[in-house]
Chains A and B, each alone.
Chain A
Amino acid sequence: MKIRFLTIFIMLILCQYSGIAQDTFMLSGTVTAKSDGVPIPGVNVLVANSNKGVVTDFDGNYSISVTKGDKVSYSFIGFTEQTITVSDQQTIDIALEQDLEELDEVVVVGYGTQKKTSLTGAISKVTNEALDQIPTSRVDDALVGQVAGVNIQATEAEAGSAPTIRIRGTGSLTGSSDPLIVVDGLVVDNDFLGSLDMSEVESFDVLKDAASAAIYGSRGGNGVILITTKQGKSGKTVFSYQGYTGLKSAKQSDAYYFSVAETAAAELAFAGTLSDRTKYLQKIGIDQDWQDIIFDGGKIESHEVSARGGNETTKFSVSFGYLHDEGVLLTDDYKRYNARLKIDTKVGERFSFGGNLAPSYTNTRRFDGSTHDILRQPPWLPLYHDENTIQYVDRNVYPDVQIGDYAVQRHFDNYDYYGDGSSLIDISDTSNTNPGAKVLERDQNDYKFKLFGSFYGEYKIAKGLKFKATLSGDYQDTRRDRWQGVLSSRNGAADASYEVSDENRIHIATENYFTYDRTFGKHDVEAVAGFSAEKWDYEGNSSLGTGYTSDLIQTLTAATVLSELDSWIYAERFQSYFGRLNYAFDDKYLFSASFRRDGSSVFGMDSKYGNFPAVSAGWRISQENFLINSDAISNLKLRVSYGYTGNKDLNTGNDIIDLYPALSLLGPSSATIEGSLESAYIALNIANPDLQWERSKEINLGLDYGFFRNRITGSVDYYNRTSDQLLLDNPVSSTTGFRSALVNIGEVVNSGFEFELRTRNISNQNFKWTTTFLASMNDNELTDFADSNGQIQFVDDKRAAEWINLEGQPISSFYGWVVDDQVPLEYLQQPFWPVGGQAQDVYVKDLNGDGLIDDDDKTILGSPYPDLVWSVTNDFQIGNLDVSFLFQGSHGAEVRNMGDQYLFNHFNSGQDFDPSITPNQEFIREKIFTNSIVQDASYVALRTVNVGFNFPKDVTQNIGLSNLRLYVAGQNLLYFTADGYTGFNPESIYETSPTTYGYQRAGSPIARTISLGLNAEF
């Protein structure tokens, strides 16, 4: 292929000098912008119905071989395409007119598109201009800071793992608060974002307010992200390569590195002498930071090749991508292979059809450990024994340990420090195996194959009236396996096991709808009406093999005992009717109304269907006569919208309950009776036949503005979303036989402001500077929680730090006592043991002053939700060089950093206060029950930096390319956390229920990446 195009290219050049043939001659000229007469480089000059095409050079000049009668078109982004018919003229200069419609970018709105100027809802569009140059493995990670009101948080930072996306705050309690993801019209699950290649994406359109999302009805309650994949353009086929390779490293925590040296110095200062144990630790001489071992960093690389093109009737796009992200954690690894084929074609004047097929395969190796467990290991413990450490091994108990074996704390016990048998020193604080072995000797993988397909036919019935039918679906096969090796546990081969499961899901959707789009004088009418039906079928199986004797064969084959054999089948159905009417008068007064009725198999007989209406209106003040000619105010629009959306997603952790919550379910179990297994049926849930749609109603007031010929543009939105009859897996008294039951309860209000400000600060031929500022402020309030108001919960009943769900406060608030003072070291049992240990207790405040500490002294200690999230992007273009950087920040959220409790060994008895000497003991409580570990999770990050160079056309043409870009990109190169935050990722949140949000358990670190990228086109 490449050769063919090179040939054409060479021929074109040769043609220039081949003299003028009878019919064919060279047409040349200059293309300029009509407004200012500045030449435009890069304009596509194409001869219709031929392969011939060139682009203008840096001075706007072009030259192309034509025949009399040819139609030549001149097109460039942001300008109206012009077509001329060639006569005898050999020179044609073209002045392209700026495309005002193009300024009014087109926004995808669900079952159609709309000009941005006609929008009445709150919709943000992000076009993939350089997003694919951000070195992250997932598309959602690259969206951080791109849209006001969309908060994307790296709650789990394992390679390839999904961030948490919240549009305008958390409204749901059980249910998922994840936005709806729609790819090329098909609703997909959020996991799909993990298999999408950013290079395939044309744009993201985020429907934020209820009126916009209401066309997705029950599923729009958490906002909608519409993803449009790239399509070919008519003209010359463009081949492109995009790729980058980079290095990742982890942001570490200084607070979580504690050394023998520091502890020894503190001990010496405090006690004047060192304990035998400390002396022994010094003798071993190892003082390592376990963060260095488990945050091993890695490489990331991504490659995508594509071909896009077409002609008047058929357009196509083919692409292949490969990504490999080694992650920053030990063993974590993510590989993705993906391809996409998209074709659209017209048959005659009335009919068009197309298809879109995208297979992908991902392989994720997990980090099979927990950082809090590993990092609490002492710094003196090495990963493996070497010549030095082997001499400390207690040979009576461990005769076989060799150099190169995993070092285990117990190996170092019973050490005869003085060599005279006078005292044998124990230094182990756990019998566990080496923490590194737990990770390295396990091999846990997720393998996902997905196939996305979408086919449509569209028929033009009459002028403005079309009918479109789509049949789309996605297939997903997920295989998970987990090998737990012989050395991964202290019990050796007895604990070796292999777990494997395979689940596949077929989702098929059909959508059929009419669209009507006509203009009658000053009246613009646009309407959509249709219905859709969707089904999901799930099927899976799993098994567990045990009884291995070695690591040699890591499949079920070598297992001597097979158990936990299971298989399952679930189904979900969905069916909807929808319609929308947009009306605009004189392009000034805009009105829109939509309605959707959704039915879901999840709900019971009487509540299957939900209705979701919405209305909105807009006034383009700048189109009024008094402003139409204003240079200062080039765009001004008021918007107001009101609508209902819903949410049906349940997330109890048990799929069958989530899919059939209205039914009282019984599932199989077994019990051993007289030596044999007998079948039991046990109740799985407390059924709720009245369970119904969670409902959100939202009002949105918006103002879009553009000043000074749109040098300054942006918008301001205020919203107020009330979500009620919330779906909640609410804890119930265990005397019911259950721990929780699904109910519709309560009301949550999210309200806030969103600002978008985009400025073109400097814009001339050689230097351009634009700035984008986005900010969103959200306030979350639980306004009604029925008789669960004031409910106190904890996540881990061994570490029962509390959360309260109190009306008038955010959904979750940290709850407990307030720290008054630290317990001085002299009252601790063993203040310097283990290394890095800190007191587990503090003095707390007697808030009500009654002289004792009890539940009445507990109070709200903080909120896990940010108040303000902002980002600032600056783009500079200096000739062929461009620089852009994005700072992003979040303020006001707190986390309950349980990592401190683990890492500072709060629970170690050495850290307890001595009850025989400590004063005022009745005022002492464990730190985990106080604000001692409630920490400010605010941060400011340099999210992305991109410095790129676009090679000039004359250079690229010499090497047969039309575009060549080289760039360096960085992610999170600067990352500032708040004072008092001790961990390595303030965004990390351990997954719990929304009513106990903000639990951090060390988690995984923020990844810093620096990469080198190359984009080439020909």
Chain B
Amino acid sequence: MKIYKYIGIVLLAGFAWSCGDDFLDPVPESAVTSDAYFENDEQIESGIIGMYDAIQGVNSNDLDDNFSVQREYYITEMRSDNTRTKSGEGEAAQFENYTVTASNGIVANYYISFYEIIYRANLVLQNLDAASAAKAGAFEGEAKFVRAYAYFNLVRLFGDIPLIDRVIGPSDKETAYTRVAKDQVYDLIISDLEVAIANLNNNYKNRASKAAAQTLLAKVYLTLGTNYGEAQTLLESVMNSGYDLEPNFQDVFYTEGNDEVIFAVGYTSDLVSDSQNISAEWLNSVGRTSGMNYVTTEARAALDEFGGDRTVYSYRQDAAQPTQYQVVKYLPNGDDNLGIQATSNNPELAGNDWIVLRYADVLLMHVEAIMAGGQETSATAALNSFQKVRNRAGITTPVTSITKQDLLDERRVELAFENHRFFDLVRFGVAQEVLSKYSDDNGYGFSATDLLLPIPQREINLSNGLMTQNPGY
């Protein structure tokens, strides 16, 4: 019967479905595999861009995402006397109260984020063999700059930390959980930055550059207090590299890639994947919080006294709650009174680049390097650098000598709300004194152990006893 013929075909079709050798090995189409990647310069460069992607962080509210630098202000500015939460609630208030707990999610997120940056840098370094001779040096320098940048922040915030200088797997628990002495971390930072300085030029502002590495290394030396002369040389080298102060202070934060920027984290407005919600959170109920990084009375007093023209571009009254004051740097939705345009349709998807290193910082560090740990300087080179910063702020009265306090105050108002204050206080050796007074005045609970953040409880728990906590937590 004819029908049997069709039946036969159906039965055969069942068998005929070829179960070839590769049937069980479908190739992923929406991803690549690492054994087929990092084979040429272009591919390695995409790994380099991946490092910056990690620094950018993810603009989301998902606790499993790495917010990275986007929430850095919590653990720097809000732990200093510059800012606080608007209404003192939730785990964010732990920073201003100095009651940070080891299970604080913002701290854990920063720790995880910055080790991710380090991982991505290590991944590039691991694959350098595949780079062309022409590019290998620059790639190495770039990866090492990024790694040093991440470690420098971690070591200042957490103290002794695990030192990961290669890609490690989950079974390498010894390396993952052993806290290495700060000195060793700094050794790696310094050697990484030296490689970066040797191998990089000044082509980028959103990527590593020689000047960025020099500036960072100078800051490392200032932090260690060991090598002021070298710091001064490095900074002077930057000062001869074509950077300059932006004539109008406000333009620094609204003109992307201006002359003053040495290294900034790039963002693009209105794209979830490439925008930031740093500054939306600083407004009243515009971001995901009711208001963060609100300006303290102390910071306002300093800006009023020393800020000059910078003051109006640094803080303003909160229109919705007139007793409160907001930061105006990086405003995502602009300010008509100040002539600032909105940078995005949705303020939570802001596009303002976040400046990590800028020329004013270089000039003020130059003063610091010349002061070399002393209390005062009247060296001409220092006076020139200092005056340059003040002139831009409209404070043109010539300075004849600079005390350590002058310099600290100047840094405070020039770099206000740019995540410098906490580190400056520590570096200048006055953190305990200043923050104790600030804490007492405001009824907070500062003690000396609050200068280091806790190692995230997550890591302590996972380490099964390998990892020790910082004192006071």
By a beta-carbon cutoff of 8 Å, the part of chain A in contact with chain B is 347-348, 351, 353, 397, 430-432, 455, 457, 459, 467, 469-471, 490-491, 494-495, 510-512, 533, 544, 546-547, 560-561, 563-564, 567-575, 599-601, 608, 656, 659-660, 663-667, 669-675, 677-684, 686-687, 730-739, 741, 743, 787, 790-794, 796-798, 800, 907-909
Residues of B within 8 A of A569 (CB): 29-30
Residues of B within 8 A of A470 (CB): 14
- Residue pair B458, A797 in contact (C-beta under 8 Å): yes
Tell which of B161-169, B305-313, B379-387 binds the partner: B161-169
In the complex, A544 Cα to B7 Cα: how many Å?
Answer: 49
For the complex formed, measure the closest distance between the CB of A327 and the CB atoms of chain B, giving whole angstroms: 26
In the complex, A732 Cα to B177 Cα: how many Å?
Answer: 11
By a beta-carbon cutoff of 8 Å, the part of chain B in contact with chain A is 1, 3-4, 7, 10-11, 13-15, 17, 19, 23-26, 28-35, 37, 43, 46-47, 49-50, 52-54, 56, 63-64, 88-91, 93, 103-105, 108-109, 111-112, 115-116, 118-120, 122-123, 162, 164, 167-170, 172-173, 175-177, 204-207, 256-257, 266-268, 270-274, 284-286, 290, 320, 333, 345-349, 351, 353, 456-459, 461-464
- Residue pair A351, B266 in contact (C-beta under 8 Å): no
Given contacts A739-B112, A909-B88, contact A471 B13 (CB under 8 A): yes
Across the A-B interface, the 7 shortest Cβ-Cβ residue pairs = A737-B119, A797-B105, A672-B266, A431-B285, A733-B176, A680-B49, A469-B14
- Residue pair B270, A665 in contact (C-beta under 8 Å): no
Contact among A467, A568, A680, A794 with B53 in the assembled complex (CB-CB below 8 Å): A680
Listed by A's residue number, 27 A-B pairs whose Cβ atoms lie within 8 Å are: A431-B285, A470-B14, A494-B347, A564-B271, A564-B273, A568-B30, A572-B26, A573-B26, A575-B19, A575-B24, A660-B31, A665-B31, A670-B273, A671-B53, A672-B274, A673-B204, A683-B50, A686-B170, A731-B462, A733-B176, A735-B168, A735-B459, A739-B64, A797-B63, A798-B105, A908-B89, A909-B88
For the complex formed, measure the closest distance between the CB of A574 and the CB atoms of chain B, giving whole angstroms: 8
- Residue pair B457, A800 in contact (C-beta under 8 Å): yes
In the complex, A569 Cα to B272 Cα: how many Å?
Answer: 22
Can you add 16 more A-B contacts, CB < 8 Å, to A471-B14, A671-B206, A792-B461? A353-B7, A353-B10, A431-B290, A455-B10, A510-B17, A573-B23, A659-B28, A663-B34, A674-B266, A677-B271, A680-B47, A733-B462, A734-B112, A735-B115, A736-B119, A738-B116
For the complex formed, measure the closest distance between the CB of B374 and the CB atoms of chain A, giving whole angstroms: 39
Given contacts A459-B7, A686-B170, A734-B459, contact A563 B50 (CB under 8 A): no
- Residue pair B33, A663 in contact (C-beta under 8 Å): yes
Residues of B within 8 A of A791 (CB): 461-462, 464
- Residue pair A682, B50 in contact (C-beta under 8 Å): yes
- Residue pair A793, B168 in contact (C-beta under 8 Å): no
- Residue pair A547, B345 in contact (C-beta under 8 Å): yes
> Which of B19, B26, B56, B111 has the largest number of chain A CB atoms within 10 A?
B26
Contact among A351, A495, A574, A741 with B170 in the assembled complex (CB-CB below 8 Å): A741
In the complex, A797 Cα to B268 Cα: how many Å?
Answer: 29
In the complex, A798 Cα to B4 Cα: how many Å?
Answer: 68
- Residue pair B30, A570 in contact (C-beta under 8 Å): yes
Residues of A within 8 A of B46 (CB): 679-681
- Residue pair B273, A669 in contact (C-beta under 8 Å): yes
For the complex formed, measure the closest distance between the CB of A1018 and the CB atoms of chain B, giving whole angstroms: 35
Residues of A within 8 A of B4 (CB): 351
- Residue pair B53, A561 in contact (C-beta under 8 Å): no
Residues of A within 8 A of B25 (CB): 573, 601
- Residue pair B53, A796 in contact (C-beta under 8 Å): no
For B104, give the chain A residue with the smallest CB separation: A797
- Residue pair B47, A681 in contact (C-beta under 8 Å): yes
Contact among B23, B162, B461 with A533 in the assembled complex (CB-CB below 8 Å): B23
For A574, give the chain B residue with the smallest CB separation: B24
- Residue pair A670, B29 in contact (C-beta under 8 Å): no
> Which of B14, B64, B349 has the largest number of chain A CB atoms within 10 A?
B14
Residues of A within 8 A of B28 (CB): 570, 656, 659-660, 663, 665
Residues of B within 8 A of A669 (CB): 50, 53, 273
Given contacts A669-B50, A675-B266, A677-B268, contact A495 B7 (CB under 8 A): no
- Residue pair B320, A397 in contact (C-beta under 8 Å): yes
Given contacts A571-B29, A660-B28, contact A491 B56 (CB under 8 A): no
- Residue pair A457, B11 in contact (C-beta under 8 Å): yes
For the complex formed, measure the closest distance between the CB of A744 and the CB atoms of chain B, giving whole angstroms: 13
In the complex, A432 Cα to B288 Cα: how many Å?
Answer: 10
For the complex formed, measure the closest distance between the CB of B103 and the CB atoms of chain A, giving whole angstroms: 4
Residues of B within 8 A of A533 (CB): 17, 19, 23
Residues of A within 8 A of B3 (CB): 347, 351
For B461, give the chain A residue with the smallest CB separation: A792
Residues of A within 8 A of B90 (CB): 798, 907
In the complex, A736 Cα to B118 Cα: how many Å?
Answer: 9
Residues of A within 8 A of B109 (CB): 797
Residues of B within 8 A of A510 (CB): 13-14, 17
Residues of B within 8 A of A467 (CB): 11
- Residue pair B63, A457 in contact (C-beta under 8 Å): no
For the complex formed, measure the closest distance between the CB of A830 and the CB atoms of chain B, giving whole angstroms: 13
For the complex formed, measure the closest distance between the CB of A720 and the CB atoms of chain B, giving whole angstroms: 30
- Residue pair B461, A682 in contact (C-beta under 8 Å): no
Given contacts A673-B204, A733-B463, A737-B115, contact A430 B53 (CB under 8 A): no
Residues of B within 8 A of A491 (CB): 286, 346-348
- Residue pair B56, A672 in contact (C-beta under 8 Å): yes
In the complex, A560 Cα to B349 Cα: how many Å?
Answer: 14
For the complex formed, measure the closest distance between the CB of A511 and the CB atoms of chain B, giving whole angstroms: 8
- Residue pair B272, A670 in contact (C-beta under 8 Å): no
- Residue pair B284, A737 in contact (C-beta under 8 Å): no
For A431, give the chain B residue with the smallest CB separation: B285
For the complex formed, measure the closest distance between the CB of A614 and the CB atoms of chain B, giving whole angstroms: 23
For the complex formed, measure the closest distance between the CB of A186 and the CB atoms of chain B, giving whole angstroms: 14
- Residue pair A683, B459 in contact (C-beta under 8 Å): no
Residues of B within 8 A of A490 (CB): 285-286
For the complex formed, measure the closest distance between the CB of B318 and the CB atoms of chain A, giving whole angstroms: 12
Residues of B within 8 A of A544 (CB): 272
In the complex, A459 Cα to B88 Cα: how many Å?
Answer: 77
- Residue pair A665, B33 in contact (C-beta under 8 Å): yes
- Residue pair A666, B462 in contact (C-beta under 8 Å): no
In the complex, A907 Cα to B285 Cα: how many Å?
Answer: 18
In the complex, A670 Cα to B456 Cα: how many Å?
Answer: 28
For the complex formed, measure the closest distance between the CB of A872 and the CB atoms of chain B, giving whole angstroms: 43
For the complex formed, measure the closest distance between the CB of B15 and the CB atoms of chain A, giving whole angstroms: 6
Given contacts A347-B3, A560-B345, A741-B170, contact A733 B177 (CB under 8 A): yes
- Residue pair A790, B120 in contact (C-beta under 8 Å): no
For the complex formed, measure the closest distance between the CB of A715 and the CB atoms of chain B, giving whole angstroms: 37
Residues of A within 8 A of B266 (CB): 671-675
In the complex, A525 Cα to B23 Cα: how many Å?
Answer: 35
In the complex, A686 Cα to B123 Cα: how many Å?
Answer: 12
In the complex, A965 Cα to B23 Cα: how many Å?
Answer: 53
- Residue pair B30, A667 in contact (C-beta under 8 Å): yes
Residues of B within 8 A of A684 (CB): 31
Residues of A within 8 A of B116 (CB): 734, 737-738
In the complex, A739 Cα to B109 Cα: how many Å?
Answer: 11
In the complex, A107 Cα to B436 Cα: how many Å?
Answer: 77
